[in-house]
Chains A and B, each alone.
Chain A
Amino acid sequence: MPDQPTSAERFIQGILPENPVYRQLLGLCPTLAVTNGMQAAITMSGAVLFVLFCANVIVSLIRNLLKPHLRIVIFTLTIATFVTIADRFLAAYLYQMSKVLGPYIPLIIVNCIIICRCEVCASKQNVVAAGADAIGQSIGFALALSSIAAVREILGTGHFFGIRVLPEVWPDWVVMVLPPGAFLTFGLLLGLINWYGTYRAEKAERG
């Protein structure tokens, strides 16, 4: 087996170098759908952290029992269980938020980030590495979601976390909280990050 990255490397990689949204372009459904407000984005990231961490740990614990042709079934089963738990929990303790997020919590089941982490890391490495990987990737996901949500909420409503930050004269760009705003913001931020990456690489080359 080729050398696997260590726990610390897994953790660091998830945050920026292999950011699930900006680098791997995974999990775009919630990225586009629930980023019209910071509160929704943070709750979503929290739910993904919980599901990803639990799924990674369980899969890592049973990794030696997995059969190649049945592994995806087991991943999905594990993920679906924890998503349902997260969904019920939100409905019980954060009822308003669970209404805002609506179907996007159950849709975490088909979020590629989680199945990708189970496949790439948890089914091959020990529990510590799998846990560190889950936390790193979730922080990366949370950063991506909140960066998009911040831009959309501030420009679209003049609010940040529900508190007014722009002066009343600001004409709310309603389009930013509508679906097109998600694509615009995501595209521009992705472009910016890629441009910055290339710029740094070129600078390093020139010395």
Chain B
Amino acid sequence: MKPIQPMEPMPPSMLARLKNNKIIQAWLVLILAICFGSSLAGIQLTLGPRIEQNKINETREKVPELVLGAAHARQLAEEQKALEIQPQSVAVTKNGRQTAYSVLEARDPAKGRLGWVVKTGGQGYADKIELLLGLDPAAEKVSGIFVLEQKETPGLGNKITDEDWRSQFIGKETDRPLEVVKDTADKETEISAITGATISSRAVTTIVNTAVADLKGKLAAQ
């Protein structure tokens, strides 16, 4: 007697195959992804311009203070006068690589150019530091700096945002690089470091030096 052959398994029906299809099982995931994706696109379209504007405003608000000094800027705000601000991008080729600085030119409608504000940045102690650097019309002197973004150690490195420390930079000449010293700065080119935060202080000074070196010639020529 012949042994009974085991039966061939029945081919799964169309419906069963569809039910086991991984893509079809995930229909809810796909539909939700489409719904959520489009609603996020909508949100981005509505809020995107506002967020961009916030970023630009943050820079622009600081221009009078950086170019004219805090006291003069306050006076200007009281008189409700505004400066003309013309943004431009200055390309710099360094070590064969091209980088672009975003530069704002501050003009008084009557008196012409008042100064420059350069947006720049570099590595700090903890994370990137972003700075605004104010220069006089001929780019010969620093007229102020402002820290836009930093994540330095609270209580030590984050003192780079204090006005007391930042004001050291005001009036420094730009023809020689600035140096950080640990005790009181007595020479024209010296910046005194924040106690316990020499690296943060040095980082800010290096960022200023680099931007000045890159842009001094180009801005003075304009």
Q: Which residue of chain B has its CB nearest to the CB of A174?
A: B155
**What's the least CB distance linking B24 to chain A, in Å?**
11
Distance between Cα atoms of A6 and B48 in the complex (Å): 41
Is B1 in contact with chain A by the CB < 8 A criterion? no
A70 adjacent to B155 (CB under 8 Å): no
- Contact indicator B153/A77 (Cβ below 8 Å): no
Contact check, B29 vs A178: say whether CB atoms are below 8 A apart.
no
* A174 near B54: Cβ-Cβ < 8 Å: no
Given contacts A81-B40, A84-B40, A92-B54, are A73 and B29 in contact (CB under 8 A)? yes
On whether the beta carbons of A174 and B154 are closer than 8 Å, the reply is yes
Contact with A along B32-76 (1 / 0, CB 8 A): 110010011001100110110011001000000000000000000
List residues of chain A with CB within 8 A of the CB of B48.
Answer: 88
Given contacts A70-B29, A77-B32, contact A99 B149 (CB under 8 A): yes
* A78-B36, A178-B155 known; A66-B28 Cβ under 8 A: yes
Task: Fill in one digit per residue for A45-72: 1 if any B CB lies within 8 Å of its CB, else 0.
Answer: 0000000000000000010011100100
Specify which chain B residues have a CB less than 8 angstroms from the CB of A73 in the assembled complex.
Answer: 26, 29
CB distance from A179 to the nearest CB of B (A): 9
In the complex, A57→B151 CA distance in Å?
A: 36
With A62-B28, A78-B36 already in contact, the answer to whether A88 and B154 are too (CB < 8 A) is no
Confirm or deny: B89 has a beta carbon within 8 angstroms of a beta carbon on chain A: no
Which residue of chain A is the closest to B156 with respect to CB atoms? A174
Interface residues in A107-164 (C-beta closer than 8 Å to B): none
Q: Which of B28, B36, B39, B47 interacts with A89 by CB under 8 Å?
A: B47
Q: How far is the CA of A1 from the CA of B38 in the complex (A)?
A: 37
Point out the residue from B33, B43, B58 that lies within 8 Å of A95, measured CB to CB: B58
| Interface status of A166 (Cβ within 8 A of chain B) | no
Q: Which of B33, B54, B55, B155 is A77 in contact with, Cβ under 8 Å?
A: B33
At the interface, is chain A mostly helix, strand, loop or mixed?
Answer: helix
- The answer to whether the Cβ of A184 comes within 8 Å of any Cβ in the partner chain is no
Report the Cα distance A55→B104, complex, angstroms: 44
Residues of A within 8 A of B123 (CB): none
Interface flag for B25 (CB, 8 Å): yes
Q: Which of A67, A85, A95 contacts B40 (CB 8 A)?
A: A85
Q: Does A193 contact B (CB under 8 A)?
A: no
Does A38 count as interface, using CB distance less than 8 angstroms? no
Q: How far is the CB of B216 from chain A (nearest CB, A)?
A: 30
Task: Quote the shortest CB–CB distance from A156 to chain B (angstroms).
Answer: 8
A93 contact set on B, CB distance < 8 A: 50
Instruction: Tell me the complex Cα distance, A18–B36, Å.
Output: 31
- A62, A92, A172, A178: residue with the most chain B Cβ atoms closer than 10 Å: A92
Complex Cα distance, B33 from A89, in Å, reads: 20
Known A70-B28, A74-B28; contact A178-B154, beta-carbon cutoff 8 A:
yes
Confirm or deny: A36 has a beta carbon within 8 angstroms of a beta carbon on chain B: yes
Smallest CB separation, A55 vs chain B (Å): 11
Q: A70-B25, A95-B58, A177-B154 are in contact. Are A88 and B51 (CB under 8 A)?
A: yes
Bound-state Cα–Cα, A93 to B47, Å = 9
Residues of B within 8 A of A91 (CB): 47, 51, 54
Find the A residue at minimum CB distance from B40: A84
Please give me the 4 A-B residue pairs with the lowest Cβ-Cβ distance, nearest first.
A174-B155, A81-B36, A95-B54, A92-B47
Query: Other than the known A81-B36, A88-B48, what 16 A-B pairs have Cβ atoms closer than 8 Å?
Result: A36-B154, A66-B28, A67-B28, A70-B28, A73-B26, A77-B33, A78-B36, A81-B40, A84-B40, A84-B43, A85-B40, A88-B43, A91-B51, A92-B47, A92-B50, A99-B149
User: Please, could you name 14 A-B residue pairs with CB atoms under 8 Å apart, sorted by A?
Assistant: A62-B28, A65-B28, A67-B28, A73-B29, A77-B29, A77-B32, A81-B39, A81-B40, A89-B47, A91-B47, A91-B51, A93-B50, A95-B51, A174-B156
